[in-house]
Structure 1
Amino acid sequence: MGSSLMAVHSAKLSLVGSTLPLQRFLTYRLSRLNAKLNRQAVATLKKTCDLKLPEWRLISLLATYGERNGRWIGDTAEIDPGLLSRTFRSLELRNLISARRDEEDRREVYFALTRKGRQLYEKTHPNMQARQQALFAALDAHEQSAIFKIIDKLEIAADARDGSRQSR
């Protein structure tokens, strides 16, 4: 963190009669962090395979949870429906995932990894896992145990604030 951000971060906030500097907006800070982490992930993926970040996320979800329908994947990954559709199509065309229609509800499509998709996941996952471990190495044990609790609380607060999602 740059020294100017550290100074803003460590300063006591008095919200009465003052305005909050942009560097203290949680959404701004998370957006900056997200952009940096996404750039790192893209660079890692570029070195190990020919996947875009949304493609990696879908492959990783399918590797973890097995066959799932498109609605579940979109809700879980919180990917824009248009991007989700293009990502499914790209992965299908490269024979990394397969799609099948539900027999009872033909509108419902289920996706699964193909053998080629599973092999690509197994090749790429160790590099992405090492990246996660490097990030966690920047945190002490207490911070490591707290980070997901904090993120969960923030997600619940965001969901409650916008009313767009039910609790997970």
Structure 2
Amino acid sequence: MPAEPDENTDYLSFVDYAVDRSTRELPEVDPVAMRLVLTLHRVTSALVYDLESSVHRPRGWSWPGFRVLFVLWLAGPMEGKRIAELAGMSRAAVSALVKTLERDGMVTRRQDEQDRRVFSFELTGTGREAILGAYAAHNEREQAWVSALSRPERTILIGLLEKLAAGSASAEAKRRT
């Protein structure tokens, strides 16, 4: 085995090298678990990078900005804390993002009448039009990614990912705040 990855090793194929090298260094490593998690992470990262660079950055958005707009589009007006829960982000990140989205005319902020410290956010008409156009392009890229799988394979993969997400190890990860 080479000490370093060769010139043909790329971001995704590095998984093979990493599993081989780590199991030689640490024989107790479970290579199947490592391969599954590393591959899942790297494919997800590549997919997100593709969506962000081909769909969202050209519109002046970041991936997190898209996630906030997506949640507001589908779930409607809500407090920043709830946006953070549904977008899988911290409240601080959402707070910073909605300031930018508000500045850009995509989101409006409304102060709660009972508790003046609480704000809810909602899409503006401009924000709604922007997310509708962006999501159409986003879904085209999603279709391109999943076209490598047959319809039955897609259904099986969805079931397996949902089973993984429902597993006991994921319980802590679900409590993101």
Cα 1:127–1:165, aligned 2, differ >3 Å: closer, same or farther? same
Normalised to the residue count of structure 2, the TM-score between the two structures is 0.75
Q: Which residue of 2 aligns with 1:12?
A: none
Q: How many residues were matched structurally? A: 156
Residue number among 162, 170, 175 corresponding to 1:159 in the alignment: 170
Please list, as runs of the form range in 1=range in 2, the aligned pairs for 1:33-72 lying within 5 A after superposition: 33-44=43-54, 45-47=56-58, 49-72=59-82
Q: Which residue of 1 aligns with 2:86?
A: 76
Query: Shift of residue 23 of structure 1?
Result: 7.9
Cα 1:108–1:130, aligned 2, differ >3 Å: closer, same or farther? same
Normalised to the residue count of structure 1, the TM-score between the two structures is 0.78
Residue number among 109, 120, 131 corresponding to 2:119 in the alignment: 109
User: What fraction of aligned residue pairs are identical, expressed as a percent?
Assistant: 25
When the two chains are superposed, the root-mean-square deviation of aligned CA atoms in Å is: 2.8
Structure 2 gaps of 5+ residues are 1-11, 20-26
Query: Shift of residue 18 of structure 1?
Result: 4.4
Deviation per CA, 1:80-107, whole angstroms, max 9, x where unpaired?
A: 2322221111101111101112222333
The separation in 2 between residues aligned to 1:107 and 1:4, in whole angstroms, is: 47
Query: Shift of residue 143 of structure 1?
Result: 1.8
Residue number among 11, 26, 32 corresponding to 2:36 in the alignment: 26
Q: Which residue of 2 aligns with 1:143?
A: 153
Q: Which residue of 1 aligns with 2:142?
A: 132
Matched residue SS, 2:175: coil
Structure 1 gaps of 5+ residues are 9-16
The separation in 2 between residues aligned to 1:26 and 1:80, in whole angstroms, is: 27
Cα 1:155–1:108, aligned 2, differ >3 Å: closer, same or farther? farther
Q: Which residue of 1 aligns with 2:129?
A: 119
Deviation per CA, 1:93-136, whole angstroms, max 9, x where unpaired?
A: 11110111222233332111011111211221211010111122
Q: Is the 8 A contact 1:159 1:165 kept in 2?
A: no
Matched residue SS, 1:46: helix
Q: Which residue of 2 aligns with 1:14?
A: none
